[in-house]
Amino acid sequence: MSRDNLYALPRDRVGQFQFDQQVVDVFPDMIARSVPGYASILSVIEQLAGRYVRSGTNVYDLGCSLGAATMLIRQQAPIDATIHAVDNSPAMIDQLSKRLHELPAAPQACRVELHLADLCQVAMSNASMIVLNFTLQFVPAPARGRLLQNCFDAMVPGAALVLSEKVCFDEPGQQDLLGDLHLDFKRACGYSELEIAQKRTSLENTLIPESIPTHTTRLRDVGFDVVTPWFQCFNFVSILAVKQST
Ligand code: GEK
């Protein structure tokens, strides 16, 4: 795995963050050293797949990047389920396609379909599990409610949605403290002050965090019956939302 040093040298101008080939080349290292709890969240997504993915249904991994969640869900899903891995970055989808082709043959594994598409435009149906693992934060805020409504409407009774996000806090003391603790985490993972500052600038108008109550209220408003944050480390959370069984 290549080490992320994309922002190690001073740049004259720090442009908007893009999920391009340079990012793809270092992505596993970048996300592991930037998102506290990333590995733990993935391992629980695998556990949840074992519980929720149903025979003959679809699973959507929206904003799949290199398919970290897709690969784990595939290990749990029944053979006649289909995982739809969606991303609008051609570099991510190309690399994920290569990874899938390099996997050893697994006759018991379910089908994985890749979609190079905007997740707001993708048609979904018959879903027993939908994953948005650090993706909604990149969708323009006004489009988020409609997207989650589409997810809810596409889900079968008893299905689960996992929403992991970087979040903000209304209370300034909490916002500052948890933000600082996240920066300490990045320093401890080897990022320099320059790398942290340049990455922050590049993400400024691209990654728009919202508060935990904003997320949970919106999920309830679109119809989910059980909405519960199940993980938090500093300003990173994961929320489980379940559609009522009939
Ligand atoms: C993981 N889930 O490793 N449509 C489709 N894809 C999008 C859109 C959009 N509108 N906006 C952003 N993306 C992954 C990690 S990374 C999180 C997700 C991060 C894609 C974008 O191309 C990128 O691959 C992904 O969402 C976000 O479990 O880098 O912080």
Confidence category of residue 37, pLDDT binned at 50, 70, 90:
very high
Rounded CA-CA distance 177/94 in Å is 39
Q: Which residue's alpha carbon is nearest to atom 3 within ligand 1?
A: 68
Confidence category of residue 12, pLDDT binned at 50, 70, 90:
confident
Whether residue 4 is predicted with pLDDT greater than 80 in this model: the reply is yes
Q: How far is the CA of 89 from the centre of ligand 1 (A)?
A: 8
CATH 3.40.50.150 matches 21-242: yes
pLDDT at 35: 97
Nearest ligand 1 atom to the CA of 118 is 4
Nearest ligand 1 atom to the CA of 23 is 29
Q: How far is the CA of 133 from the centre of ligand 1 (A)?
A: 8
- For a pLDDT cut of 90, what percent of the chain falls above it? 82
Structural domain boundaries in the chain: 21-242
Q: What is the mean pLDDT of the chain?
A: 94
Rounded CA-CA distance 23/28 in Å is 9
- For a pLDDT cut of 70, what percent of the chain falls above it? 100
Q: Which residue's alpha carbon is nearest to atom 26 within ligand 1?
A: 63
Q: Where are the beta strands (DSSP E) in the chain?
A: 58-62, 82-87, 111-116, 127-133, 155-168, 210-211, 226-233, 236-242
Asked if 118 and 88 touch (Cβ cutoff 8 Å), the reply is yes
Task: Tokens 């920066």: give the residue.
Answer: 183
Please list every protein residue whose CB sits less than 6 Å from any atom of ligand 1: 19, 31, 63-65, 68-69, 86-89, 92, 118-120, 133-135, 138-139
For helices 21-34 and 90-102, angle between their N-to-C axes, nearest 10 degrees: 80
**83-137 confidence digits (pLDDT tens):** 999 999 999 999 999 999 999 888 889 999 999 999 999 999 999 999 999 999 9
Whether residue 19 is predicted with pLDDT greater than 90 in this model: the reply is no
Asked if 9 and 79 touch (Cβ cutoff 8 Å), the reply is no
Whether residue 232 is predicted with pLDDT greater than 80 in this model: the reply is yes
Confidence category of residue 224, pLDDT binned at 50, 70, 90:
very high
pLDDT at 14: 75
**206-221 confidence digits (pLDDT tens):** 999 999 999 999 999 9
